[in-house]
Amino acid sequence: MAGCCSAVAAFLFEYDTPRIVLIRSRKVGLMNRVVQLLILAYVIGWVFVWEKGYQEMDSVVSSVTTKAKGVAMTNTSKLGFRIWDVADYVIPAQEENSLFIMTNMIVTMNQSQGVCPEIPDKTTVCQSDANCTAGSTGTHSNVGVSTGRCVPFNRTVKTCEVAAWCPVEDDTHVPNPAFLKAAENFTLLVKNNIWYPKFNFSKRNILPSINTTYLKSCIYNAETDPFCPIFRLGQIVASAGHSFQDMAVEGGIMGIQIRWDCNLDRAATLCLPRYSFRRLDNRDANHNVSPGYNFRFAKYYNDPSGGEHRTLIKAYGIRFDIIVFGKAGKFDIIPTMINVGSGLALLGVATVLCDIIVLYCMKKKFYYREKKYKYVEDYEQVGHLLASPAGLSGTVRRPDPEPSSWSEPQR
């Protein structure tokens, strides 16, 4: 209890004041300078030069529009001879910051509402009506509602009958190679407008030096033409390290990244976009369940008698997501002063580190500690004891006399 009271009293009634002690030691002196140089290198090199700590920063605000071009020709037994243009393979026509281009598909033509047998699999094959439950729908099926009857699918197999759009879709085999493999040579124009609201600075990726004639003939190339905003689809996928023809079979998601890092202390013409490409969906040996990207849509029509029909298309393709990011910086006195103050405060770390080594790690630590700390009693209390009769008869440690103004301080 006495020790606790002494600690509390020491905390409340004792005051520490810094004392300058000059230690003539090569090791400690060299370590102090090395730490100070490292801190200065960090503040000047990293904070001010690399991270531009003297600037105020702002994040980019962006808008993106896209336009695809390209024509493909197919000739199949199901669809016959056909020309495919933008209106056929860009679905939907406009999206926000993305574009889907169909590269493969499964077509089920001339569907009408009625009853028909399901496609055979382990859950639909039956032997009798007892194997089929009327009114049931498969949890993972979008075919139709079971009628409860077991009907022939072909000469050898029976399946449960459903009320659905008939004939039902058979998507067990995906066409390989891709139906629209010519999409590799389609082109994509990306128009990107950016704005930094804090600095009221705006720009677009179609640079002022680009004219209509150049825009109609250029194709992006990272080495020879890095600022052309027109990209060949096959080149986008190849730049991400993948094969377009392999990706076109089951589809996927590609990211077109546009980075705007602008130093507004320099000329505005030096604020330029940088393009990079990356595949965003997982496609490797460990992620081969439900690969790619696909969805279904239908085209409806009526026959001369008024009956409703549709053509169902399961579309596989590549979705291109345009991702815009970046930051802009401009000189401002406030962040400059904050970082200068932080750097000066960090220089105190060198003193703290050297004190720890001198007072706790060196062989002569007790000698240095005696020189570092000086204990002084309360002057008023000592003076009172000296003035009292009891104080004269006792042994009292006198306070150190104050040095004269002309005396040299002891080192």
Note the pLDDT tens digit of each residue in 361-404: 877 778 777 777 777 676 666 666 666 665 545 444 444 544 44
Residues shown for the chain: 411
Q: How does pLDDT run across 71-103, given as a tens digit for each residue? A: 999 888 888 899 999 998 999 888 889 999 999
Residue 183: count other Cβ atoms within 10 Å of its Cβ.
24
**DSSP classification of residue 168:** P
For domain 2-53+333-369, say whether CATH 1.10.287.940 is its number. Answer: yes
Q: CA 28 to CA 30: how far, in whole Å?
A: 6
**What angle, 0 to 180 degrees and rounded to 10, lies between the N-to-C axes of helices 333-346 and 348-360?**
10
Task: Tell the residue number behind the tokens 């067990």, with chain if given.
Answer: 172
33: pLDDT confidence band, cut at 50, 70 and 90? confident
- 99 and 133 Cβ atoms separated by less than 8 Å: no
Q: Is the bond preceding 403 in cis, omega lying within 30 degrees of 0?
A: no
Sign, CA torsion 360/366/367/371: positive
Q: CA 136 to CA 161: how far, in whole Å?
A: 11
Q: Domain 58-118+168-329: which CATH class?
A: mainly beta
Helical residues (DSSP H) of 165-287, grouped into ranges: 212-217, 233-239, 244-250
In degrees, rounded to 5, the angle at the alpha carbon of residue 46 between the alpha carbons of residues 43 and 50 is 135
| Res 402: pLDDT | 47
Q: CA 203 to CA 260: how far, in whole Å?
A: 10
Residue 21: count other Cβ atoms within 10 Å of its Cβ.
13
Average pLDDT of the residues of the chain: 85
Alpha carbon distances (Å) from 362 to 36, 91, 185, 356 = 20, 75, 73, 9
Q: CA 98 to CA 190: how far, in whole Å?
A: 10
411: pLDDT confidence band, cut at 50, 70 and 90? very low
Alpha carbon distances (Å) from 200 to 51, 60, 196, 238, 259 = 22, 11, 6, 37, 18
- If residue 368 lies in a helix (H) or strand (E), which one and from where to where? helix 365-372
- 99 and 188 Cβ atoms separated by less than 8 Å: yes
Q: How does pLDDT run across 110-132, given as a tens digit for each residue? A: 999 999 998 888 888 898 888 88
| Res 285: pLDDT | 54
**DSSP classification of residue 399:** P
| Res 381: pLDDT | 64
Q: CA 175 to CA 354: how far, in whole Å?
A: 73
Identify the CA nearest to 204 among candidates 258, 266, 255, 278. 258
Q: CA 197 to CA 260: how far, in whole Å?
A: 14
Query: Hey, where are the domains in the chain?
Result: 2-53+333-369, 58-118+168-329
Q: CA 111 to CA 56: how far, in whole Å?
A: 62
What are φ and ψ of residue 148, in 5° steps?
Answer: 90, 5
| Res 385: pLDDT | 60
Burial of 11 (0-12, 13-18, 19+ CB in 10 A): exposed
137 versus 319: which is more confidently predicted?
A: 319
